[in-house]
């Protein structure tokens, strides 16, 4: 099929590794399995790409499956303040890029018929009207999506702060949301971030469809509710996942000390610990985690970052070297039992390695899906964004994770509890049952994406909508 007869979609990825990972995979799938032509706009915050972003951009550009366009980095600190929360910052960036995005779309041939933005990108959807494109929003996980679509109604119904409610927030047909689990932008209704979140929910309801990175078997009840309950705004919801960063075929032959070490460990014996691209722990929490690991005597790979500025006591001289926050003698005592990584880790390679048997994770949705698709049960450690909801779902509904009694954002999780959770996932019968469950889910996720699977069919439907649109544009003429 030549480019002129293919559906042409524009994907606009907001800044951040987590957003790039799943948007790129969506683009790759649309091209490889559904004959799309995809122009992929990368949006960066000033001063430019982080090491993780650079790696992803470089690999997508080399693969040439997508037409990758990197827009000039945007600085919104003057508009929203230097310490604005992430949701406010990123939605401001996505508003700011509208003229550059428009100039990037205008010369594209054939004219794109659809634009897909992520949950921060709805302010950029105005550009779609200028070019008569279908508008879609691609959202990470289903339950937070339901909350987002329903929030314009909660906003009218609920008085006072959501976190002060005595009862869980009821959202039609879905698991109720405990006040302490609500996503960060809803924590304070007096803030600009809250209003922006409600506005994004309203804009999503007006789009031509919402794509969500899950599959029918994982989120049957939530997907059904969003499709059947008018309260969600009757916007079409397409489950197109699980879309995760693929392990490059050359991974098996890649040489690194880390992967060599993994090769030598017994099957499913290593706990991988990572808090995503942004997550950091307090100095005290790092100490407790280290002691908990030591007491558990389980093998581990720990991606360790220094504590955030407000916690790192500059006056104690430990500075910005993450290793300085480990208890004295920890690495010596652990010897060959574990590895501490202070750089960007090859997470997909680690999780999919046969020696990895557990994942202590911040529950970013990419990490959660990577864990499920590697058949690895989790210990949940949610820190920001919608991670508390993801953690509750994984532990209480899906049954593939254990969670600490105290929320890690509320206080310090002690070494005894950490030891107990690590043992539970790595050794106990409860962990074995979770392992069986997560392996079943892995198969169901893989099946959703093969020809005839539910997510494959959802993307085919999307392709049809785009083709119908492009044909109607050809009939109408420019
Ligand atoms: N990641 C990685 N190496 C690291 C940390 C993160 O490869 O050291 C990848 C991880 O595999 C995932 C993404 O970065 O694909 C993080 O996305 P997620 O949604 O889990 O969390 P976020 O960083 O957006 O909070």
Nearest CA to ligand 1 atom 6: 276
Q: pLDDT in tens for each of the 478 residues of the chain?
A: 566 678 999 999 999 999 999 999 999 999 999 999 999 999 999 999 999 999 999 999 999 999 999 999 999 999 998 889 999 999 999 999 999 999 999 999 999 999 999 999 999 999 999 999 999 999 999 999 999 999 999 999 999 999 999 999 999 999 999 999 999 999 999 999 999 999 999 999 999 999 999 999 999 999 999 999 999 999 999 999 999 987 765 555 567 899 999 999 999 999 999 999 999 999 999 999 999 999 999 999 999 999 986 655 555 778 889 999 999 999 999 999 999 999 999 999 999 999 999 999 999 999 999 999 999 999 999 999 999 999 999 999 999 999 999 889 899 999 999 999 999 999 999 999 999 999 999 999 999 999 999 999 999 999 999 999 888 776 665 4
**Rounded CA separation 11/379 (Å):** 33
Residue 293 C-alpha to ligand 1 middle, in angstroms?
A: 22
In this structure, what is the dihedral angle of CA atoms 55, 37, 90, 19, given to the nearest 10 degrees?
Answer: -50
- pLDDT at residue 245, as a whole number: 86
- pLDDT at residue 82, as a whole number: 82
Pocket test for ligand 1, best of 24, 55, 367 (most atoms within 8 A of CB): 367
Please indicate whether residue 350, judged by its CB atom, sits closer than 6 Å to ligand 1.
no
Listing DSSP states for 204-252 in one string gives HHTSSEEEESS-TTTSHHHHHHHHH-GGGTS--EEE-----PPPPGGGG
Please indicate whether residue 276, judged by its CB atom, sits closer than 6 Å to ligand 1.
yes
- Catalytic residue positions, numbered: 19, 118
- pLDDT at residue 318, as a whole number: 86
- In terms of DSSP H, where are the helices of 13-141? 17-34, 51-63, 77-80, 86-96, 98-105, 126-130
Please indicate whether residue 274, judged by its CB atom, sits closer than 6 Å to ligand 1.
yes
Nearest CA to ligand 1 atom 7: 347
Cβ neighbours of 100 (radius 10 Å): 16
Return the closest-CA partner of residue 362 out of 425, 244, 275: 275
Residue 253 corresponds to which tokens in the numbers above?
A: 């032959």
Q: Helix and strand tally (H, E) in the chain?
A: 18, 13
Give 124: exposed, middle or buried? Use CB within 10 Å, 0-12, 13-18, 19+: buried
Q: What length does the chain have?
A: 478
Please indicate whether residue 245, judged by its CB atom, sits closer than 6 Å to ligand 1.
yes
- pLDDT at residue 308, as a whole number: 80
Pocket test for ligand 1, best of 90, 276, 360 (most atoms within 8 A of CB): 276
ipTM over 0.85: yes
Reported pTM: 0.95
Backbone dihedral region for residue 234 (phi beyond 0: left; psi -120 to 50: alpha; all else: beta):
left
SS (H, E, C) 380-403: ECCCCCCHHHHHHHHHHHHCCEEC
- pLDDT at residue 254, as a whole number: 65
Residue 209 corresponds to which tokens in the numbers above?
A: 């469809």
Residue 372 C-alpha to ligand 1 middle, in angstroms?
A: 14
In eight-state DSSP terms, residue 312 is: S
Please indicate whether residue 244, judged by its CB atom, sits closer than 6 Å to ligand 1.
no
- First-to-last CA distance in the chain? 22
Q: Check: CB of residue 359 under 8 Å from CB of residue 378.
A: yes
Return the closest-CA partner of residue 13 out of 60, 51, 64, 62: 60
Please indicate whether residue 120, judged by its CB atom, sits closer than 6 Å to ligand 1.
no
- pLDDT at residue 109, as a whole number: 92
């Amino acid at each position: 099929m030549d480019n002129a007869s293919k559906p042409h979609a524009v994907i606009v990825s907001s800044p951040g590794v987590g957003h790039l990972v799943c948007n790129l995979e969506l683009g790759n799938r649309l091209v490889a399995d559904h004959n799309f032509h995809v122009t992929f706009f990368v949006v960066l915050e000033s001063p430019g790409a982080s090491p993780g972003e650079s790696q992803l951009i470089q690999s997508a550009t080399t693969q040439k499956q997508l037409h990758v366009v990197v827009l000039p980095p945007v600085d919104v600190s003057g508009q929203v303040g230097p310490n604005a929360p992430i949701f406010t910052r990123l939605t401001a960036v996505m508003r700011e890029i509208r003229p550059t995005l428009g100039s990037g779309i205008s010369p594209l041939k054939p004219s794109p018929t659809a634009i897909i933005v992520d949950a921060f990108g709805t302010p950029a959807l105005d550009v779609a009207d200028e070019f008569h494109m279908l508008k879609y929003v691609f959202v990470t996980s289903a339950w937070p999506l339901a909350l987002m679509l329903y929030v314009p109604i909660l906003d009218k119904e609920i008085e006072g702060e959501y976190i002060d409610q005595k009862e869980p927030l009821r959202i039609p047909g879905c698991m109720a949301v405990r006040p302490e689990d609500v996503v960060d932008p809803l924590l304070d209704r007096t803030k600009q971030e809250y209003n922006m979140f409600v506005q994004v929910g309203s804009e999503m309801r007006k789009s031509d469809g919402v794509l969500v990175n899950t599959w029918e078997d994982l989120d049957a009840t939530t997907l059904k509710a969003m499709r059947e309950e008018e309260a969600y705004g009757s916007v079409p919801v397409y489950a197109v996942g699980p879309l995760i960063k693929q392990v490059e075929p050359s991974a098996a032959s890649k040489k690194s000390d880390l992967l060599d070490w993994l090769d030598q460990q017994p099957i499913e014996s290593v706990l991988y610990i990572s808090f995503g691209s942004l997550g950091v722990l307090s100095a005290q929490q790092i100490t407790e985690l280290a002691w908990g690991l030591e007491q558990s005597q389980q093998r581990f790979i720990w991606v360790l970052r220094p504590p955030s500025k407000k916690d790192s006591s500059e006056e104690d001289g430990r500075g910005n070297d993450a290793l300085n926050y480990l208890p004295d003698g920890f690495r010596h005592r652990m010897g060959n039992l574990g590895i501490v990584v202070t750089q960007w880790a090859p997470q997909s390679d680690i999780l999919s390695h046969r020696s990895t048997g557990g994942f202590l994770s911040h529950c970013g949705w990419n990490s959660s899906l990577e864990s499920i698709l590697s058949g690895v049960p989790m210990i949940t450690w949610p820190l920001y964004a919608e991670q508390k909801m993801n953690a509750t779902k994984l532990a209480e509904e899906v049954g593939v994770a254990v969670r600490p009694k105290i929320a890690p954002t509320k206080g310090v999780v002690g070494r005894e509890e950490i030891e107990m959770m690590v043992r539970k996932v790595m050794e106990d019968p409860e962990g074995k049952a979770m392992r069986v469950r997560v392996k079943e889910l892995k198969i169901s996720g893989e099946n959703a994406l093969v020809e005839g699977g539910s997510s494959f069919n959802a993307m085919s439907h999307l392709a049809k909508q785009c083709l119908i649109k492009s044909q109607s544009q050809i009939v109408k003429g420019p």
